[in-house]
Amino acid sequence: MYLDRDYLETPEGFLFCVVGCIHPRDKVIAYLKYVPSQDGKWGQEDRRFRRTMEVYSVPEVLKNVEMLRAHFPQYVFRSRVMNIMMSAVPRRLIVRHYRPTERLSRLFESHERDDLEQDLVEVVGKLSQGSGVDLGCFGVTGSILTGIHHESFSDMDITVYGLENVIKVKNILLEEFSRSDAEIKLPKGEARGRMLQHWARNYDLSPLEVEWFAGRKWNRGFFRGRPFSLLPVHHPKEVEERYGDRIYHPERIVEGEARIIDARDSPFLPCAYRLENVKIGHNISNVEEIVSYDGFYSDIFQVGDIIRFRGKLEKVVDRRSGQETMRVLIGSPEAKGLDYIKPRLTGDDS
């Protein structure tokens, strides 16, 4: 099974990051993350890579897809399920499947770890021991997963599998953040400033909104000065839907307001929030959920929050039950990076 945050290598040496856990039978939905490059910052002398996107954003992903369509069309297809052009790796072209849990397990068993790998093993060990979550429910993705990391600047991107485990790890992480003497710390100083500037610039947030998001963001921190992130992934047993069970028909770009009534699926990618009291313009709408493929919005909003949004309205046809519902999608090509989910705040002049 191909899970969110797994990596795939192709015959060209391309490294794709898998998106979500639901895929067609003959291909795996993924975006191109690293390509071979002699002057790349990642990798070793005989195997160096550069990133295809310095910043993960919808416009950058769209450029990525267009580049592939022009030069490597085998990695692009029009999804009849999602009704958009997407990048994906045909299963016949997968040279290697990198699994985060297997890579982390090997690192725990290894006696030859570099400093970055050693810090990774120790921070995961602390989170596992403190939360009671088995080590086998953790993994590592990104450059460490593929073995092209650099000790001096690579992040530690840690995956956690299963909703119950995610909740346990989140709770222990929040406890660590609250302790002044803990080795696991929230971003502070220059690191926090850069992070907030990035959010403000890329998500068009006011100063008040930036601080609000910073107060809710729990899955980024530092361990002994190294940045890390916690990335929730569905356990395979939690994935009941198959590709094609639901068909998505685009309607139009809409703006509106709603109240969150269920956030259980929000930690994962795509993140989903159930809604009520949805108003689009001046009209009451039958939209039932808002979904985002941008991890920035994952596990941010809570039950009872009032949100403002801009996104693509879609009709969702469930082929199993025959029911039709409506949803708003954040991260669509049609919105061109101008979509959002924001809290409705008082005292904000934005």
Mean pLDDT of 285-304: 94
pLDDT at 194 over 50: yes
Residue in 331, 335, 262 with CA at minimum distance from that of residue 299: 262
Nearest to 142 by CA among 17, 28, 53: 17
Q: Where in the chain is the domain with CATH 2.40.50?
A: 245-343
Among candidates 268, 261, 242, which has minimal Cα distance to 163? 268
Rounded to an integer, what distance in angstroms lies between the CA atom of residue 314 and that of residue 292?
13
* Per-residue model confidence (pLDDT) at position 348: 52
List C-alpha distances in Å: 340 to 194, 198, 332, 337: 21, 15, 11, 8
- Rounded to the nearest angstrom, the gap between the alpha carbon of residue 122 and the centroid of all alpha carbons in its chain is 24
Residue 230, SS3 per DSSP: strand
What average pLDDT does range 190-198 have in this prediction? 93
The Cα–Cα gap between 103 and 337 comes to: 34
User: Does residue 55 have a pLDDT over 80?
Assistant: no
The three-class DSSP label of residue 268 is coil
Per-residue pLDDT, averaged over 46-60, amounts to 86
Residue 92 CB burial class (10 angstroms; 0-12, 13-18, ≥19) = exposed
Does 30 score more than 70 pLDDT? Answer: yes
User: In whole angstroms, what is the distance from residue 267 CA to residue 232 CA?
Assistant: 6
Other residues' Cβ atoms within 10 Å of the Cβ of residue 330: 22
* Cα distance between residue 278 and residue 268, in whole Å: 23
Tens-place pLDDT, residues 310-323: 999 999 999 999 99
pLDDT at 298 over 60: yes
Q: What angle do CA 236, 240, 244 make, to 5 degrees?
A: 115
Q: What is the predicted pLDDT for the residue at 3?
A: 97
CATH of 245-343, one of 2.40.50, 1.20.1070, 2.20.180, 3.40.50: 2.40.50
* 121 pLDDT tier (thresholds 50, 70, 90): very high
Q: Map residue 310 onto helix, strand or coil.
A: strand
| Helix (H) / strand (E) containing 16 | strand 15-18
170-184 average pLDDT score = 93
- Please report the DSSP string for 170-237 in residue order: HHHHHHHHH-TT-SEE---HHHHHHHHHHHHHHHT--HHHHHHHHHH--SEEEETTEEEEEEEE--GG
Instruction: Assign 221 a pLDDT band (cuts: 50, 70, 90).
Output: very high
Q: What's the 3-state SS for 287-306?
A: EEEEEECCHHHCCCCCCCCE
Residues 310 and 293: their CA atoms lie apart, in Å, by 14
The reported pLDDT for the residue numbered 349 is 46
Q: What is the tens place of the pLDDT at every residue in 133-158?
A: 999 999 999 999 999 999 989 999 99
pLDDT tens-digit series, residues 227-254: 999 999 999 999 999 999 999 999 999 9
Q: Which 8-state DSSP code applies to residue 136?
A: G
**285: confidence class by pLDDT, cuts 50, 70, 90:** confident
CATH code, 100-233:
3.30.460
Percent of the chain with pLDDT over 90: 87
When pLDDT is cut at 50, 70 and 90, the band that residue 5 belongs to is very high
Mean pLDDT estimate for the chain: 94
Structure tokens at 235: 């356990």
Spatial separation of the C-alpha atoms in residues 290 and 311, rounded to whole Å:
9
Ranges for all domains in the chain classified under CATH 3.30.460 = 100-233
Assigned token pair, 23: 């895929």
pLDDT at 350 over 50: no
For position 58, what pLDDT does the model report?
77
- Average pLDDT value for residue range 212-224: 95
